Amino acid sequence: MMPDETWTGPLPTLHDVYRARRVIAPHLPRTPLIHAPALDRLLGAQVFVKCENLLPTGAFKVRGGITLMSALSPEERRRGVITASTGNHGQSIAYAGHMLGVRVVIGAPRESNPLKVSAMRALGAEVVLEGRDFDEAREWVERTARAEGYRYVHSANEPLLIAGVGTIGLEIMEDLPEVDVIIAPVGAGSGACGHCIAAKAISPRVQVIGVQAEGAAAVYRSLREGRMVSVERIETFAEGLAARVPFALPVTILRGGLDEIVLVSDEELKDAILLLAEAVRQTAEGAGAASTAAALRLGDRLRGRKVALVLSGGNITLETLAGIYRDEARIRRVAERLRARPEERTAGAPPSGEPKAPAARTGR
């Protein structure tokens, strides 16, 4: 499917983010921003990790789900909603639907993370497995919405979703007003958009850096080439980053607000999962570890700065986690990196030894 090229609707604002916080505050806890001294030593920076994995659904997207679903009209609630998801977005809509008594149907890829599928069903959603990846599931959802009259919730082209997840940026700015850099994962890009809207409106000097998987670089390529670029296939285990097609609303916001976007490999994501487990005692899924992997790529460029890493989610299967934990060579490499004296570290070098991917400036 071709990407949608332009966004003609309203853009979410800082006012919308503050309003979203009032909506979600009764339902969600404030997540901690944890100082990580081990990552300080590793990067020569002051590093803080925003633990969105501790939210009820295990990921940041529930902020947007509650914000959007709370704004549905009585007619939309009666019709029910349908959406496409690889898991975390679907859980957010299912959670809000359960809370508000709204019927939720979710189209998910056939090879979806079974942990996330089970969680969506446990929240009362009807999950239909369709397509080989997210974008094929989305196409099925769009057809079904037209045929059966559901309110279609797009996973990215929804200003209220972005306003909701923008509350992460508000919390970071309140807890660490002197932050210099916020690094956030980019699948479709709603989370990073939230930081561009909230954090930069509060403090324009804050640098927002996005990170994508090398095997799912649609947004990276779109920003770098100045046009909407789809990729033919996804090659990453991190389903939270696995979007083949860019979307108009997030790309519009990212073009105007994102300072830079970098790519990381699956090997780097797996190393970062181990680093977070050892250094912060937090469990991250692949997308959740992306900000840490990007910080390691950036290396010396972060030295002396205050950096917030968004751990966006922790919904990783035991099988995937066990595979990473059984990799003795990886464990030794990560442990040695944590133990090394600062002068022995090669800041900015990918931990798995492959060449660095280029960073894309966004033309700001």
CATH of the domain at 85: 3.40.50.1100
Tokens of 362: 């966004």
Given a contact cutoff of 8 angstroms between Cβ atoms, the answer to whether 55 and 62 are in contact is: yes
| Axis crossing angle, helix 88-100 with helix 62-70, rounded to the nearest 10 | 40
**Same-domain status, 70 and 207:** no
What was the pLDDT predicted at 340? 79
Domain end point (choices 101, 134, 157): 157
Residue 159 has pLDDT above 50, yes or no: yes
Tell me if 3 is assigned to some domain.
no
**Same-domain status, 253 and 153:** no
Tell me if 109 is assigned to some domain.
yes
Domain end point (choices 157, 182, 210): 157
**Same-domain status, 25 and 81:** no
**Same-domain status, 245 and 318:** yes
Task: Between 216 and 354, name the one with better pLDDT.
Answer: 216
Q: How far apart are the first and last CA of the chain?
A: 28
Tell me if 286 is assigned to some domain.
yes
Q: How confident is the model at residue 352 (pLDDT cuts 50, 70, 90)?
A: very low
**Same-domain status, 178 and 271:** yes
Residue 356 has pLDDT above 50, yes or no: no
**Same-domain status, 21 and 150:** no
**Same-domain status, 166 and 297:** yes
What Cα–Cα distance (Å) separates residue 299 from each residue in 90, 230, 280, 295, 336? 34, 29, 19, 6, 17
Residue 207 has pLDDT above 80, yes or no: yes
**Same-domain status, 188 and 47:** yes
Q: Which domain holds residue 329?
A: 14-59+161-341
Tell me if 7 is assigned to some domain.
no
Could you tell me the pTM of the whole model? 0.92
Tell me if 232 is assigned to some domain.
yes
Number of domains in the chain: 2
Tell me if 38 is assigned to some domain.
yes
Residue 361 has pLDDT above 70, yes or no: no
Per mean pLDDT, which range of 64-68, 73-77, 133-137, 168-172 is the poorest?
Answer: 133-137
Tell me if 348 is assigned to some domain.
no
Q: How confident is the model at residue 354 (pLDDT cuts 50, 70, 90)?
A: very low
Tell me if 254 is assigned to some domain.
yes
Per mean pLDDT, which range of 49-58, 206-215, 349-358 is the poorest?
Answer: 349-358
Per mean pLDDT, which range of 136-150, 268-282, 344-358 is the poorest?
Answer: 344-358
Residue 5 has pLDDT above 70, yes or no: no
The residues, any chain, with a CB within 8 Å of residue 5's CB and separated by 6 or more, are: 228, 248
What was the pLDDT predicted at 70? 99
**Same-domain status, 217 and 100:** no
Other CB atoms closer than 10 Å to residue 351's CB: what's the count?
A: 22
**Same-domain status, 165 and 242:** yes
**Same-domain status, 317 and 253:** yes
Domain end point (choices 157, 178, 200): 157
Q: How confident is the model at residue 353 (pLDDT cuts 50, 70, 90)?
A: very low
- At 266-324, the pLDDT tens digits run 999 999 999 999 999 999 999 999 999 999 999 999 999 999 999 999 999 999 999 99
- What is the C-alpha separation between 10 and 299, in angstroms, rounded? 37
- At 20-31, the pLDDT tens digits run 999 999 999 999
With a pLDDT cut of 70, the percent of the chain lying above it is: 92
**Same-domain status, 273 and 148:** no
Nearest of 35, 29, 12 to residue 171 by alpha carbon: 29
Q: How confident is the model at residue 2 (pLDDT cuts 50, 70, 90)?
A: low
